Structure 1
Amino acid sequence: MLRISLRVILAGGVSLVACASADANTDSASRALVPHRAIYDLKLKDASERSGIEGMVGRMVYEFTGSPCTGFSTNFRLVTKINTGEETRLSDQQTTTFEDMAARQFHFETKSFTDEQLDKQISGEASVAENGVKVEITQPDGREVDLPASVFPTGHMLDVIQNAKDGKNFFEARVFDGSEDGDQALLTTTVIGKQQEPEKGDVDADKAGEFSRAPFWPVTIAYFNETAQGDPTPVYNMSFKLYENGVTRDLTMEYGDFVLSGSLTRLELLKQQDPCPAPAK
């Protein structure tokens, strides 16, 4: 699961998966997450006149490796071509993250290119502190930010999976993922549907390889700015089909003025480099 910020699509900025909490249930669930490389084709599903977008296509490559005892790493690249009717712009986003579960630390680094020119670079470290999350941003400027208690993305992913297993269809959380300028967390609301079986003729499911017939949960996550007043509207909605092992497919990303769809075109399972020892009975 990953969140793609509006800045990524229109110029640069991003988020990603790479962290997990440390209680026993979460540790057991995180062992079920499979290392994998997934490729998604993106296309414009809908756009208002106000968006100024006439066409958009792209490709997203997401690689997830590691284990709860060695930490989780991700490598992510998103390339989009945007047609405004007056010009075509190429955006290239490259992000790496690493989560040290034992230390409860999260490293993030993002490079954003527009028309092959580097226009932004963000890197930093986040760690769980006594009263929240402390973020140390190393690029583009050295500064520290204190945020309220938040979970990191894979920790949030595991919470989604656990809630789905428990039959809970709604919960809220504050998530820090290093996106935008790396200095804010977002409030989220997650809605989980009942577990389903793939329908016949589901092309996106067929791309999931050995999981093509596995059951999944339909999930929708809405992200809100912390500072929003009154009855805020989400800055971003993401819907997808989620497997128990953390693989996602059939993405829909809503940014208000436009909507993108993402279809899984290839899923490759990767070898676990350093599996954790089995938990003691």
Structure 2
Amino acid sequence: MRVKRLAFCAVLVSSTALAAPAFAVPILQAHRAVYDLSLDKASDRSGITGITGRMVYEFNGSPCDGYTVNFRFVTQIATGDSSRVSDQQTTTYEDAKGKTFSFVTKSFIDQALDKEVKGTATRTDKGVEVDLDKPDKKVVQLAPTQFPTQHLEELIGRAEKGEHFYETNLFDGSEDADRVMTTSIVVGNKAEVDKDDPELPALAKLGKDKYWPVDIAYFDLSQKESGEEVPQYRISFKLHENGLTRDLTMDYGEFSMTGKLVNLALFDNAPKKACNNK
């Protein structure tokens, strides 16, 4: 099963631009969000009869020091008379200017290590160079793109300006860390949280904050020449101004799952200061 980081979780910019987007940088809230996962729907062809699980997403950092994400995605997938537990654990660091992105992902199946991907991606004048340490040492040259936090800042900036549709590229180090995804983003009108919203108890003091409904379709650039126009997967969610995402639906074509916010811890953001980074 293909599982992508949501931190992802959500975010983007022009496929040819290397400079930072021309938007005011939003204040992203340091936080830990916990989501309960469940099966939304599945086709007979998928063979999936049930999915349960939990996702934990922890975001920290500042515009001066860069941003770290710790992400864990655990699912139990039932198929007929059998089931398996998949456990993806990811840690990333993105420098404050979005020039470098370090990542390590360990994937376990039934508690046994199945795969480890580790490397660092660096933006250059020609695109992005990925220096991989695991599973094999190699260097991969990719198209110009941005990394997840700048993508998130771009999305919030465009939403604030009232833009409802745009396309971007994204590299997040997932899968084999050897490709850039093209993303098509649809942003709905800003809305208030309903009084009967099932995630309201977890939101606590953020319950009065408005959000944008967002839908993102991910396309594999490496399959562009094949004429394939069907997205690899789609993600829809509610996006708050501070970067929190919730009420997730992850659609992989033959099956989809939901992620409902059940616990939220807000951390103190780093104090504001003048940055010396260039």
Which of the numbers 109, 114, 129 marks the counterpart of 1:119?
114
Q: Distance in 2 between matches of 1:95 and 1:16?
A: 11
Q: Distance in 1 between matches of 2:170 and 2:260?
A: 25
**CA 1:230–1:210: 2 relative to 1, 3 Å:** same
Alignment of 1:97-116 (within 5 A): 97-102=92-97, 104-116=99-111
What is the Cα deviation at residue 29 of structure 1?
Answer: 2.2
Letter in 2 for 1:260: M
Percent of residue pairs identical: 45
What is the Cα deviation at residue 271 of structure 1?
Answer: 2.1
Aligned twin of 1:237 = 234
Which of the numbers 162, 183, 206 marks the counterpart of 2:201?
206
Q: Distance in 1 between matches of 2:38 and 2:242?
A: 26
Q: Distance in 2 between matches of 1:163 and 1:15?
A: 19
What is the Cα deviation at residue 252 of structure 1?
Answer: 0.5
1:267 aligns with 2:235: no
Q: Distance in 2 between matches of 1:22 and 1:66?
A: 21
What is the Cα deviation at residue 86 of structure 1?
Answer: 2.4
1:134 aligns with 2:113: no
Comparing 16-25 and 62-71, the one that deviates more: 16-25
Q: Distance in 2 between matches of 1:204 and 1:250?
A: 8
**CA 1:78–1:52: 2 relative to 1, 3 Å:** same
Q: Distance in 2 between matches of 1:103 and 1:212?
A: 31
2:265 aligned counterpart, secondary structure: strand
Aligned twin of 2:25 = 29
Q: Distance in 2 between matches of 1:190 and 1:23?
A: 18
Aligned twin of 2:41 = 46
2:25 aligned counterpart, secondary structure: helix
Letter in 2 for 1:198: V
Structure 1 spans left out of the alignment, 5+ residues: 1-5
**CA 1:24–1:85: 2 relative to 1, 3 Å:** closer
1:223 aligns with 2:201: no
- Structure 1 residues 213-243: Cα deviation after superposition (integer angstroms, max 9, x where no partner): 2110000000001123335111110000000
Confirm or deny: 8 A CA contact 1:14 1:93 kept in the other structure: no
Confirm or deny: 8 A CA contact 1:153 1:175 kept in the other structure: yes
- Structure 1 residues 3-48: Cα deviation after superposition (integer angstroms, max 9, x where no partner): xxx423xxxx75644999874855x424x10000000000001000
C-alpha RMSD of the superposition: 2.0
Q: Distance in 2 between matches of 1:114 and 1:161?
A: 35
Q: Distance in 1 between matches of 2:151 and 2:21?
A: 15
TM-score (norm 1): 0.90
Aligned twin of 2:15 = none
Comparing 16-25 and 80-89, the one that deviates more: 16-25
Aligned twin of 1:277 = 273
Confirm or deny: 8 A CA contact 2:98 2:146 kept in the other structure: no
Structure 1 runs of 4+ off > 6 angstroms?
Answer: 18-22
**CA 1:16–1:193: 2 relative to 1, 3 Å:** closer
Q: Distance in 2 between matches of 1:15 and 1:164?
A: 18
Confirm or deny: 8 A CA contact 1:37 1:63 kept in the other structure: yes
Confirm or deny: 8 A CA contact 1:14 1:180 kept in the other structure: no
Q: Distance in 1 between matches of 2:80 and 2:154?
A: 42
What is the Cα deviation at residue 196 of structure 1?
Answer: 0.4
Provide the aligned length of Structure 1 versus Structure 2.
267
Aligned twin of 2:139 = 144
Confirm or deny: 8 A CA contact 1:36 1:270 kept in the other structure: yes
